Amino acid sequence: MSDLSFTKWVACWGNATSITDRKEAIYSKDLTLRYPIRVVFSGSKLRFHFSNLTGTEEVKITRAFVTVKNEDYKPVKITLNGNTELSIPAGMEITSDEISFPVEAGQTIEVSMYFEGFTQMNAGTLVTGPLSKGQYAYGDFAEKKDFPNDLSRSTNWFYFLNTVDVFTEEKNHALVCFGDSITAQSWPDHLAQKAWVKGFRNVAIIRRAVCGTRILRQYDCITYAAYGLKGATRFPIEMQVAGASAVIIQHGINDIIHPVGVEVNKFRPWSDLPTAQELEKGVEEIYISHAKKLGIKVWSGTLLPIFGWRTYAPFRNELRNEFNDWLRTCPEFDGCVDFDKAVRNPDKPEAFADGFDSGDHLHPSEEAYKAMAEAVPEELFKA
């Protein structure tokens, strides 16, 4: 395909960036990270977005490379203003230099980053799914085809690398999936696979999801720091997606299930519990209005069953149902993906259908995640 066919930048892969889980060790040294990324459309150039949004110290990527994952391993340097060391200021995001790097639809590329000095590992997110798994190794192996088995492990934590853009054809676009742990798990990957199998080679699925996040609140304590930033902080940042045409928002269940009272958990007061009207107002003012300003279509995603979850109570389910009714009928949305209907038990709608509960009564099983992907209309794959 001629380079003249390529006219615009479109995100081909992306995750959110949030506060990583606060464990005993929060620094690394002499570490290599590697992330495989499936490219869904062809292009002539790449650029890379790196995020230290939730970091409190500058992060220095000593060296970064990209290569096509195949037998002919040829790593290409990723630079920033011509420099091979990429510095990301605290609380900031950066975009690399554009690099000439032809890619073909269906290829997998690998992005490798080496951190020589002490590095605050405060900016990242936990993601799972059939297309979402990275590696890390102790030592500098960024230019090596393979990591040594005895010094490496797989990881589902995605640090710093936030989005990859391809310079591609005008017809190509990105569909954003925004949410919490439900979306940080498998259904966006299954959606990407569905689009590919159905022959839609013009759409990339971009995941912007952080476990534990709420629309209206966030935690300011290390115990729950990894539950991330509130919607008003997250959404304007995470919707900076090149070529985005639409967003599916599946968010709000944590606003409903988290509050239990300070006598039970000092960080979860009853005052955090919203009304359905407060959730609706939050979605309208934070999500819908911003997406409309960007010219992006907004689809709602209903909240899933919670019967049996450890904080379940009938009043929470009633709140979920009231909010879901609004998500289905609000005319401000361009459409609704009824995830609740796709996974609930028709005879007991407050609970998951048989085989669709992961076991904790909040997160779906892998089969349920596939059903969620199937519930997304194919019209969203079209620009």
Q: What is the pLDDT of residue 1?
A: 59
Burial of 260 (0-12, 13-18, 19+ CB in 10 A): middle
Q: Contact at 8 Å (CB) between 260 and 187?
A: no
- Mean pLDDT, the chain cut into blocks of 10 residues (383 residues total): 83 95 90 97 97 97 95 92 98 97 96 98 96 97 96 97 97 98 98 96 97 96 93 96 98 98 97 98 98 97 98 98 98 98 98 98 98 97 85
* pLDDT value of residue 381: 96
Half-sphere exposure of 353 (CA within 13 A, CB side): 15
* pLDDT number for residue 178: 98
- DSSP H helices, the chain, are 181-184, 187-197, 231-238, 253-257, 276-282, 289-293, 314-329, 339-343, 366-375
3-state SS, residue 257: helix
Angle at 227 between CA 158 and CA 309, to 5 degrees: 115
CA distance 62 to 86: 7
User: What's the pLDDT score for residue 4?
Assistant: 74
Q: pLDDT for 301-352, tens place per residue?
A: 999 999 999 999 999 999 999 999 999 999 999 999 999 999 999 999 999 9
- Record the tokens describing residue 16, joined without a space: 């959110």
- pLDDT at residue 70, rounded to an integer: 83
CB 156 within 8 A of CB 133: yes
pLDDT recorded at residue 2: 58
Query: Distances in Å between the alpha carbon of 173 and those of 244, 279, 291?
Result: 6, 30, 15
Q: Quote the tokens at residue 165.
A: 């853009």
Measured in Å, how far apart are the chain's first and last C-alpha atoms?
21
- pTM: predicted TM-score of the whole model, two decimal places: 0.96
CB atoms within 10 A of CB 206: 28
Classify residue 146 as exposed, middle or buried by CB count within 10 Å of its CB (0-12, 13-18, 19+): exposed
Element (H, E) at 217: none
Polymer length in residues for the chain: 383
